Structure 1
């Protein structure tokens, strides 16, 4: 069944409930009867019908709704009727009146045929706004194609609020009755359909046929005020879930110099062009992996006032999904970001799940980019019998850790503060920051300048009192634990422990009094299972951390944050 046919079935079923309204007059009763007859008619070729919004008026003082609708002339049938229903509520349950008394205007302009209407409402109800639904179809009665608008009381002037829109035109949408997903055929969704969806669910899903969707920002803002959580956009390329609280809609409108009702949130989920796809494939092989998913460009912008800006999600991780073309071992696979400037891949927090025989990768990151999924099977000669072998090789497959030399990891070598900063930035999927305004001993040309700046900006690392970072100093277990706990906090995972629990966690270690400044962080790391003692009763906070210890702690925190399986 086509989408238009589904809309019509949905409309007919909903209209059957409407005929039960006790406020319906004789005209609405006749309309209901005709509607039932029309349901028995075969589905015919569909003609588009739309309101002429320029002259649509509702005057509650004289109980009239007036305006024009138009039908495409190439499908116009003079034997087909235009009928109307007027409602006081957006659920279309309270019928104010109904009529099929539109006047055919014997003119055709720009390929469309017009009908004028002037509906005198017989209901005593006089709301400040009404919902007007019109139908066009075969035979004498309710038709197959309809349009819906919302119009406020206009006095003598008449205007349609800019947040309102036509029902099933170029944008629009239809709420599937069996899975709660709005299906949109065009590249935008109208305010009315989205409003109704949020009335039924705090987590709305929208399926689109193309690569792009424009969403009215004012509807999202109102939904957020009422406790809505998210909107998920779905197409054949993947999905993206936008947490409404992270969109900062008012700030985006202000940045654009636009009213919120004029602002759109624009989502793109598109396969990359052939040339870029080839570059991504080359990057996958260069990283030592194999491609197992199509590369997709996920992009979210805001537009208004003839301007457009990228949406900044701050530290909120936004979930996207990609379909994977094979069964996989999650320890050997990862989501990856493709950098168009460097033409390299980097780790993206990602988990895997099998749904209906299809493996789906969920990638979490707080920025726009091109994403794909890769599989690797890396190993290091000096890990053959090492206790950290499984953890290190998993993180190497996921592009988090790298070898120190060809086929060598050097697991027992101490790790520097700069090296661990780089690991933390990779594990969080952060971009490097080019400008360094944080520490006096960081040379802008140093390999670690960008990652240290990025980690500092995210609140993961602090310098010393003399405003230095000491990048080449070997990191202590105390410093490492503190950076891990801050990374958990950045990822949105609460890990703090109460003072009593802190004392309890540290009491088992006879050398806990030697912890200099990070007692609460080490206690939190012990409580979360991220750090263990060097022995059963020693924590070794001042000891230098090794590369294998750092990798193992990273792996534990990534699992705790649900960044890996």
Structure 2
């Protein structure tokens, strides 16, 4: 330890014993702490002290730092800030000084070698103080945090997660910074821990299970304790989104908002991969809506187009909120359409097809015709499934020998294959232009449901029970388990009470109806 520090400390203790007899009340009443923050993860404590009695006394103002009764730093000098008349300090210690990570530390301050006051502070928040306080947010005991400065400390998160696995954080601006290490600590406590960030632009609910701490730290070449996770809920400036809405013949009924999730450290930033987790975001809708005509959509900045996002609507006290669910971040808004097709009048699938058309899941063959009874190809149905799940495009196709990279369906087939929605044939072909059978249709819808987190599998005994109702069940070529699961989940019905027709070609109307059932089962539409 520095000789000067030891000498100062010894002098301080001796003088303290003497002076405290003479001026105990004066000293204690004259010294105050302000804005003290302790971070146990990077082993720092900072803040300011000042005295009503002792002013501008230079390096004779110093502090001792204790934890669990043991000294961490015996003396650290505070720097006088003439603009504030405060003594600013920032203490830090390495593992060589103390290998223990403390939940709280104590500070003793000395002015002119006279003991002034003690301050005890928890990790990034105060425990008790004769002077000022610290921190950038206020935490209630019910798991709700007001993050007025746009950041929340590890201590504040810890307090909130002490009482609930679902923490709500309200922000004033468009961004919120969170310490990754504290989020991972909460995930260790609750495997279903989540935070909901609430702003004037919308809300973002983040299941902490999507955070892969090791992968994020590695991608940033940093330690987990140094990584910051940032949630962004920002209005999208410009008219591009609005133009895309009107190009569809629709009307915008919510602002466009850019939802983003990133991690950063050492000046580097990476996007957080949500995997297969459908994260919920909400947008305020500016009118009461018919959920059959309204749709949540995502804006593609490259193509300047909009596509479907799984969305549900809820109206409370005259205010409608749209909840959009997707496993990727981007720019989102809500639109309203009213599409119809001349050849669907009185058709059994009219309501299902028009609903999905309004939500941009299905298209007409022309502006006025849907051709509901026409067969549908394997590539066409793959495209519908990809739209229903709002999957990002996979641009590299290395799966099938008969899928040309220049074909309109190349990226769609690659996306569906990557997600496990479709399989090829044994000869490594996909046969994109072949008409899809009802058996193949059922299998793809079941896989889509599984991707969305819906458990559809049935036991062998249940499978036999379900299929025994149909006289033609023996004609199922290979997808007995998938067909039984689809029937059991209510995704597929028989053509009659006793006929499933597994090898018959599926129609566009049947495909749309199965997708509507899937989206409803997954709570992706109302």
TM-score band w.r.t. shorter chain: 0.7 to 0.9
Shift of 1:185: 1.0
Alignment CA distance shift 1:187-1:147 (3 Å): farther
> Which of 314, 336, 342 is the equivalent residue of 1:381?
342
Number of equivalenced pairs: 464
Q: Distance in 2 between matches of 1:130 and 1:459?
A: 46
State the TM-score, normalizing by the size of structure 2.
Answer: 0.80
Contiguous gaps of at least 5 residues in structure 1: 1-29, 36-46, 59-66, 90-95, 97-103, 119-126, 135-145, 152-165
Matched, 1:208 2:171: yes
Shift of 1:370: 0.1
> Which of 460, 477, 486 is the equivalent residue of 2:447?
486
Matched, 1:129 2:102: yes
Alignment of 1:195-234 (within 5 A): 195-228=158-191, 229-234=193-198
Q: Distance in 2 between matches of 1:519 and 1:117?
A: 68
- Is the deviation greater in 299-308 or in 444-453? 299-308
Are 1:50 and 1:147, in contact at CA under 8 Å, matched by a contact in 2? no
Are 2:253 and 2:287, in contact at CA under 8 Å, matched by a contact in 1? yes
Matched, 1:468 2:429: yes
Shift of 1:50: 3.6
> Which of 357, 366, 379 is the equivalent residue of 2:327?
366
Q: Distance in 1 between matches of 2:247 and 2:504?
A: 36
> Which of 464, 486, 510 is the equivalent residue of 1:525?
486
Give the secondary structure class of the aligned counterpart of 1:425. Answer: helix
> Which of 140, 143, 147 is the equivalent residue of 1:184?
147
Alignment of 1:157-168 (within 5 A): 168=134
Matched, 1:555 2:516: yes
Match of 2:407 in 1: 446
Alignment of 1:37-436 (within 5 A): 49-50=35-36, 69-70=47-48, 78=52, 107-109=80-82, 111-114=84-87, 129=102, 131=104, 148-150=121-123, 168-169=134-135, 172-176=136-140, 180-228=143-191, 229-273=193-237, 275=238, 278-436=239-397
Shift of 1:298: 0.4
Alignment CA distance shift 1:306-1:478 (3 Å): same
Contiguous gaps of at least 5 residues in structure 2: 1-23, 56-62, 70-76, 92-99, 108-118, 125-131
Alignment CA distance shift 1:106-1:412 (3 Å): closer
| Deviation string, structure 1 residues 318-367 (Cα, Å, up to 9, x no partner) | 11111111111111111100001111000000111123432111111111
Shift of 1:305: 3.1
| Deviation string, structure 1 residues 110-163 (Cα, Å, up to 9, x no partner) | 645128999xxxxxxxx97353589xxxxxxxxxxx994539xxxxxxxxxxxx
Q: Distance in 2 between matches of 1:174 and 1:191?
A: 13
Shift of 1:470: 0.6
| Deviation string, structure 1 residues 37-84 (Cα, Å, up to 9, x no partner) | xxxxxxxxxx96345999x999xxxxxxxx87426xxxx894899xx9
Are 1:49 and 1:147, in contact at CA under 8 Å, matched by a contact in 2? no
Alignment CA distance shift 1:301-1:511 (3 Å): same
Alignment CA distance shift 1:167-1:522 (3 Å): farther
Alignment CA distance shift 1:381-1:174 (3 Å): same
Alignment CA distance shift 1:349-1:167 (3 Å): farther
Shift of 1:106: 10
CA RMSD in angstroms, aligned pairs only: 3.7
Shift of 1:181: 1.4
| Deviation string, structure 1 residues 450-506 (Cα, Å, up to 9, x no partner) | 101100000000011111111110000000000000000000000111111101110
Are 1:70 and 1:112, in contact at CA under 8 Å, matched by a contact in 2? no
Shift of 1:108: 3.0
Q: Distance in 2 between matches of 1:512 and 1:328?
A: 43
Alignment CA distance shift 1:306-1:539 (3 Å): same
Alignment CA distance shift 1:496-1:117 (3 Å): closer
Shift of 1:200: 1.1
Match of 2:17 in 1: none
Are 1:87 and 1:130, in contact at CA under 8 Å, matched by a contact in 2? no
Q: Distance in 1 between matches of 2:444 and 2:43?
A: 62
Match of 2:503 in 1: 542
Q: Distance in 2 between matches of 1:526 and 1:373?
A: 33
State the TM-score, normalizing by the size of structure 1.
Answer: 0.75
Are 1:284 and 1:374, in contact at CA under 8 Å, matched by a contact in 2? yes
- Is the deviation greater in 408-417 or in 239-248? 239-248
Q: Distance in 2 between matches of 1:53 and 1:527?
A: 54
